[in-house]
Amino acid sequence: MTAAPATPMMTQYLALKAEAADCLLFYRMGDFFELFFEDAKQAAQILDIALTSRGEHLGVPIPMCGVPVHSAEGYLARLIKAGCRVAIAEQVETPEEAKKRGGSKALVARDIVRFVTAGTLTEEALLEPRRANVLAAVCDVRGTIGIAACDISTGRMELEECAPDRLGAALARLGASETVAPEGLEGVPPDTIPRSPRDFSSDGGEARLKAVHGVSTLDGFGDFTRAMLAAAGGLIAYLDHVGRGKLPLLLPPVARSGDAALAMDEATRASLEILTTAQGTRRGSLVEAVDRCVTGAGARQLADDLSAPLTDAAAIQARLALVEWLHDDPLLRADLRAVLRALPDLGRALGRIVAGRGSPRDLGQLRDGLSEARRIHDYLVQRTERPALLDALLPSLTGHGALTDLYARALVPAPPTERGQGGFIAEGYDAALDELRRVSGDARRAIAMLEAKYRDQTGIAALKIRHNGVLGYFIEVPAKHGDALMAPDSGFTHRQTMAGAVRFNALALHEEASRIAEAGGHALAAEEAHFEELIAAAVAARHAIAATAAALARIDVAAGQAERAAEGGWCKPVISDGLGLDITGGRHPVVEAALAAKGERFIANDCRLAQHDRLWLVGGPNMGGKSTFLRQNALIVLLAQAGGFVPAEAARIGLVDRLFSRVGASDNLARGRSTFMVEMVETAAILAQATERSFVILDEVGRGTSTYDGLALAWAVVEAVHGINRCRCLFATHYHELARLAESCEALSLHHVRAREWKGELVLLHEVSEGPADRSYGLAVAKLAGVPAPVVARAKSVLDRLEKGRAETGGLAAGLGDLPLFAAAAAAPEEPADPVRERLRDLDVDALSPREALDVLYALKRAADSD
């Protein structure tokens, strides 16, 4: 039996699905987007909606699910978050146009109008207000990596190049939602979208950039390498593909220099938890602890500042001066933040408008935002002795008078999100439109009068004039009165009989309905024409509007930094060209905030690294605060070079070129790396790349292998950092033997986090003091952590034997061999056992009943007597 051929609709769907490739296809059918086959199964599972079927294809039922068009954004957000990409297939003609084209049974034409992907979102509902949404394109041009990155929701675009081994660090800084690259390119993330290598041509990229910005040369934008241009070409080609020929907002590209920002590799960013924690959440991250911005644009700019701190002292000083100016004037800061808080997101509203997805509400946001920007300008320009950075920003806040005046006249105070129903053009802007609305309003009043007239004429009090999308206006009476209006001379024409009602038409009603429809249609057309004019005005001014949005974001960041400094007692750091790091009373911003939430106080510590004292060896117990101390100093450097105040009493920071953090490690089994392998890879990167201007924090290097191996590695790493890299470094360790390096390394000094035992309990003081640690307090920490008492007691016995052997031989665990510590301890020679002592050691006194305790006591006495 031969299966029936595919229906015309299914033929159309399959053709569109072939074009959509690996994207889920949203196929528009009336008021729903439908999905079929495997797309339906996948979407139904992710969205938790019903999976049904519709007809058959090749003799098999077709799986189907759907989502309403009016609420599609929420479903799209969930699909994108789940890692899907979606192709939107819309109806590109009306049913009436289809009938004219191919008769009554003609299928409405559909086409993919857009691809919705993680990196190409512009809709407000699909974006996180405080997080940039970056799309990156990567390529390799003769051994040099080119990177193009943009946030199409605001149009910001950057180009850079780097060596292949720096690609991971560059992508980690960008935090791209989506990355595209030529097919076959190595070293890119596994979820990178492959594209044709032809898209990544430097000549093609140059031509595309010129076309986008309408220029004959790119010299006015900057000096771009061939690798940068090739990456830009791939980026724009992908945007052209997903937008189906409609490009989003793209501002002139900015060339990013490789040494303009403080370099941090992937491991360092993960260790310092700058934008997200190890669990992938914003809560508990550095940015969450620092962010006091009152606008989404400001929060996004702050995140970018923290991801790419500056290395130019003058630029850092300019940011700090603006923060200080706002910090020192609380009333000015409060007034400014109150105005900023009410601002709409100008940049993203502009992005939607330029991408062709704008609404009347977006135009209203431009009107309100630009008006408030001028208000901020007028307020700040009155202040004397303004910081240089503010003076540079102020001109961008003005110059939109003609546009804001136009929008103020043209738009109603609160424009709607949808433009299809009209109602967003203000009365008085267009006299002809006002007349159409008057005619439509008069006709509606006439219909109300007709209803009253027909009731009097027929004597049917229940007669009503109603409207729906199929019949238009009609007269409806209860079924029992229907016969009275059926008479040929009644003046009413029967249209439809319902179960409980009968519907009619009348000549006067038809005339008024025609007037309403005609006037309403003309009014909607007039509003649509005005909308396009208002959109064109915004597009023409897009660069100036984007500059205003960027200036407002920078001011919000500075005000937020000033607010955070005032709130937490932070200080303005002094930036120098020297190689020192002098921090008084430094604190960890995230840990301090967490302790404050519990009503506890953070213990501040100093850190003073100089040329003669640039490497600190920090010992002390676990949980004593070593890792916190290391991280807080790295974060203070990062915050300072990002241009903000820092959590300290005072800070003088010699500019850092690269920041390295190897604190903690985890498996990377997907790449075949154990915890120790990850630790060694990260340590190798530090030794290969750190310069004398770098700042390095290292924690417990060598603890992932045997005792001798680990100590040997830690010893050699300390010597290399001291003698070869010659960088500023905090090195935390439990290897007491490393203290001997102070004898041969003149720039190494010994420090420890203080702890003491009080009445058998460990007290962690979280204070950093000079000198080596006397011991690690490992057993006390184990007890504090809840390790069972018999295990701790057994460990104490083993430790005593190890230390005795070490004292006798003068070596580290002499005679135990190259084995992990506790395996070696298990092999240690046994001393003659004392049965009474052994019994007492293993006894859990708290678990004994009075009777059991008495029995144990008698047993111990018998054992002692027998000796």
Annotated binding residue at 622?
yes
| Alpha carbons 269 and 308: distance in angstroms, whole number | 11
CB crowding 314-349: b at 16 or more within 10 Å, else e: eebbbbbbbbbbbbeeeebbeebbeebeebbbbbbb
Pairing of strands 650-654, 574-576: parallel
Annotated binding residue at 449?
no
Pairing of strands 728-732, 695-699: parallel
Annotated binding residue at 10?
no
Hey, what amino acid is at 538?
A: A
Place of tokens 């989506």: 178
| CA atoms lying within 13 Å on the CB side of residue 315 | 12
Alpha helices in 243-282 (DSSP H): 266-272
Token reading at 442 = 């008069």
Of 281, 420, 270, 279, the residue nearest 360 (C-alpha): 420
Token reading at 113 = 């109008």
| Alpha carbons 696 and 634: distance in angstroms, whole number | 8
Q: Contacts from 590-593 at CB under 8 Å and sequence distance 24+?
A: 590/273, 590/284, 590/285, 590/286, 590/288, 590/289, 590/635, 591/628, 591/632, 592/568, 592/647, 593/289
State the DSSP H helix or E strand holding residue 713, giving kind and residue range, or none if neither.
Answer: helix 707-720
Token reading at 739 = 């203290």
Annotated binding residue at 220?
no
| Alpha carbons 575 and 764: distance in angstroms, whole number | 33
Q: In 130-276, at which residue ranges do the beta strands (DSSP E only) sit?
A: 135-141, 144-151, 156-162, 178-182, 193-195, 254-255
Q: 89: Cβ–Cβ under 8 A, 6 or more apart, which residues?
A: 16, 20, 25, 26, 27, 28, 110, 111, 112, 113
Pairing of strands 24-29, 32-36: antiparallel
Annotated binding residue at 104?
no
Cβ(631)–Cβ(752) below 8 Å: no
The DSSP code for 863 is H
Place of tokens 């002139």: 252
| Alpha carbons 63 and 54: distance in angstroms, whole number | 7
The DSSP code for 811 is S
Annotated binding residue at 620?
yes
| Alpha carbons 389 and 264: distance in angstroms, whole number | 26
Cβ(189)–Cβ(147) below 8 Å: no
Pairing of strands 193-195, 178-182: parallel
Annotated binding residue at 623?
yes
The DSSP code for 773 is -
Phi–psi pair at 98, nearest 5 degrees: -65, -40
| Alpha carbons 722 and 742: distance in angstroms, whole number | 11
Annotated binding residue at 428?
no
Place of tokens 């903000």: 644
Of 810, 750, 303, 292, the residue nearest 560 (C-alpha): 292
| Alpha carbons 21 and 112: distance in angstroms, whole number | 12
Degrees (nearest 5) of the Cα angle 827, 737, 699? Answer: 95
State the DSSP H helix or E strand holding residue 91, giving kind and residue range, or none if neither.
Answer: strand 86-91
Plot region of 131 (φ>0 → left; ψ -120 to 50 → alpha; else → beta): beta
Binding residues: 620-627
Binding residues for ATP: 620-627
